[in-house]
A and B are shown apart, each in its own frame.
Chain A
Amino acid sequence: MSVNEQFQPTIVAFCCNWCSYAGADLSGTNRLQYPANVKIIRIPCSCRLNPMFILRAFQRGADGVILCGCHPGDCHYTTGNYYARRRMTLLFSMLDFMGIERGRTRVEWVSAAEGAKFAATMNEFVETITKLGPNRRLEDLRCSKE
């Protein structure tokens, strides 16, 4: 059995309280399946996501981090996700600049009605990260499970 077949990535999904968290709920009530690798952390708005949260998720064992928020234009606080969009664009670009694999971070807009999109996104993201393998470039060796 190859290493990749054994590898079960840990995914941290930061979900906005108003859209994406409700979207995740909906996918649950609709009995849509997405892998248990995804650990959801609820945040009040996508713009609450401090870049430090993403880095610390990687430090403490995440292999991929995804941010889900309301679609642009639909923010509960009107404009939060627009700011988040710029911040995440710059942060992801910086991570890429430092040689961190591009696929490890992602932003997806998921509304409260998009339970199916939530499940599909998570399935796809878990698959991407499984292919990428364990996070090595942003890991903290003191936290490694071995």
Chain B
Amino acid sequence: MKKIARSELNALFAAIAEQKQLFIPADNTAGQAEFILWKDGVALTEKLNTTRSAKDLFFPQVENLVNFKVSDKKMEIIENRDPAAPFVVFGVRACDCRSFDILDSVFLSEPVDTFYKARRENGIIVTLGCTKPAETCFCGAFGIDAANPAGDVTCWLDGETLYWKSNTDKGKALTAALSVLTDCDENAVVAIQENTRKILEKLPLNNLDLSGFESDKLMELFNNPAWTELSESCLGCGTCTFVCPTCQCYDVQDFDNGREVRRFRCWDSCMYSDFTMMAHGTNRPTQKERFRQRFMHKLVYYPSNNNGVFGCVGCGRCLQKCPIHMNIVKVAKKLKEVAK
């Protein structure tokens, strides 16, 4: 375990930035935290978490795939992928860190998504233990310990000191190159962790019961009459999917500028009417089916294909950002209530 004085954080960031691009959660002009490319003057936010998740750095909202150029009867294929410079993302919370396990299981299993893979290989995740969880946090329901996050490096911060512990080879290599860090005792963070766990116990949703979503109940859950009521006021916007650290659906689109065709991918949302549109039309004609898809995917389909691991990490972003305050917690509770 290593440490550095909190007042020296800037020196730490400068030392990291000397080697790789560094992103840290900092306040933007709208007063929200987001991952911002560090340069001198960018300060670590006081806020618990970023509005958009760390997913964005590995799976950006828009990504160029390839260009096509047609001349006469020949079509030229032009590679234009972003080579993705090596980077470090600092201050990732335990929930967002877990989301990479879920994204990995989708993008890194065959057929491997080489765009995502390149960024995963190039990126070092430095997590930060939570000290002030919010009432909307429920990572505990997924067995995530906000006081002890994973990642290539794990950090803890108290009033005076930042503690730094490397977990992986990538993390160790980064640590070795940072001479500003000094050695310290492993037990230094115990008090911080205990303090966090005390608050976690008090959180209203941290012990959310997620039993009853096993795959043998799939059809029963699918046909649960509660879906009509739950989806009734859904606006069909994509806020929940776009702030979600685990949503991974995308659409591939072509942009024709008259000289060449640019193929790119961009996030898609199952809340949208043209999501997975096919020649025969859409198979989810109303908001009820679209809404059901999102929550069935997180709570039932994904776990039944992935040894019971849920497709949600309890970051609470959708609880805070949904315009009508409908969210996965309300859905899970209601489904169980009606199923009884």
Name A's B-contacting residues (CB within 8 A). 60, 140, 142-143
Contacts and interface: CB of A to CB of B under 8 A. Distances in A.
Interface of B: 255, 257-258, 262
A140 B255 CA distance: 11
Nearest to B262: A142
A60 B255 contact: no
Contacts of A60: 257-258
A142 B259 CA distance: 10
Residue of B255, B257, B258, B262 with most partner-chain A CB within 10 A: B257
Contacts of B258: 60, 143
B86 to A, nearest CB: 26
A142 B260 CA distance: 10
Given A140-B257, A142-B255, A143-B258, 5 more contacts: A60-B257, A60-B258, A142-B257, A142-B262, A143-B257
A60 B257 CA distance: 7
A60 B255 CA distance: 12
Contacts of B257: 60, 140, 142-143
Nearest to A141: B257
B254 to A, nearest CB: 11
A140 B262 CA distance: 13
8 contacts: A60-B257, A60-B258, A140-B257, A142-B255, A142-B257, A142-B262, A143-B257, A143-B258
A143 B261 CA distance: 10
A140 B256 CA distance: 12
A21 to B, nearest CB: 24
A142 B62 CA distance: 13
Contacts of A142: 255, 257, 262
